[in-house]
Amino acid sequence: MTEVTTVKQRFGIIGTSPLLDRALEVALRVAPTDLTVLVTGESGVGKEFFPQVIHAYSSRKHNKYIAVNCAAIPEGTIDSELFGHEKGAFTGAVEARKGYFEEADGGTIFLDEVAELPHSTQARLLRVLQTGEFIRVGSSKVQKTNVRVVAATNVNLPEAISAGRFREDLYYRLATVPIMVPALRERPEDIPLLFRKFAADVAVQYRMPAVTLDDAARDMLKSYYWRGNIRQLKNVAEQISAIEQVRVITPEILAKYLPPQEGTSTMAAAGAPRMEGDTMSTERELLYKVLFDMRADINDLKRMMAELLRNGSAPAAEPTRDIRGLLPTSTQGRYVPAVQTPGAYGQPAGPNFGEPAGSAFGPITPGGETPAPVYAESEEVTDEPPHEKTKADMQREQIIRALKRNNGRRREAAAELFMSERTLYRKIKELGIEDV
SS3 249: strand
Per-residue pLDDT of the chain (436 residues; tens, 9 = 90+): 689 999 999 999 999 999 999 999 999 999 999 999 999 999 999 999 999 999 999 999 999 999 999 999 999 899 999 999 999 888 888 999 999 999 999 999 999 999 999 999 999 999 999 999 999 999 999 999 999 999 999 999 999 999 999 999 999 999 999 999 999 999 999 999 999 999 999 999 999 999 999 999 999 999 999 999 999 999 999 999 999 999 999 999 999 999 886 544 444 344 444 444 343 445 666 666 677 678 778 877 888 888 788 776 444 444 444 444 544 444 444 444 444 444 444 444 444 444 444 444 445 445 555 455 544 444 444 444 555 667 778 888 888 888 888 888 888 888 888 788 888 888 888 888 876 6
CA-closest candidate to residue 40, choices 127, 125, 158? 158
pLDDT at 416: 83
pLDDT at 394: 81
Q: What's the rounded Cα separation, in Å, for the pair 171 and 157?
A: 7
DSSP symbols for 27-64: HHHHTTS---EEEE--TTS-TTHHHHHHHHTSTTTTS-
Q: What's the rounded Cα separation, in Å, for the pair 420 and 413?
A: 10
241: Cα within 13 Å, side-chain hemisphere = 24
φ/ψ of 362, rounded to 5, equals: 130, 180
Biggest alpha carbon–alpha carbon distance for the chain: 109
Q: What's the rounded Cα separation, in Å, for the pair 131 and 135?
A: 12
φ/ψ of 153, rounded to 5, equals: -160, 155
pLDDT at 282: 56
pTM of the model: 0.61
Beta bridge partners of 339: 375
Q: What's the rounded Cα separation, in Å, for the pair 80 and 102?
A: 11
Beta bridge partners of 37: 150, 177
Q: How far is CA 313 from CA 159, 271, 317, 318, in A?
A: 55, 50, 11, 11
pLDDT at 311: 75
DSSP symbols for 171-237: HHHHTTEEEEPPPGGG-GGGHHHHHHHHHHHHHHHHT-PPPEE-HHHHHHHHHS--TTHHHHHHHHH
Q: What's the rounded Cα separation, in Å, for the pair 433 and 413?
A: 14
Q: What is the dihedral of CA 244, 248, 249, 253, to 10 degrees?
A: -50
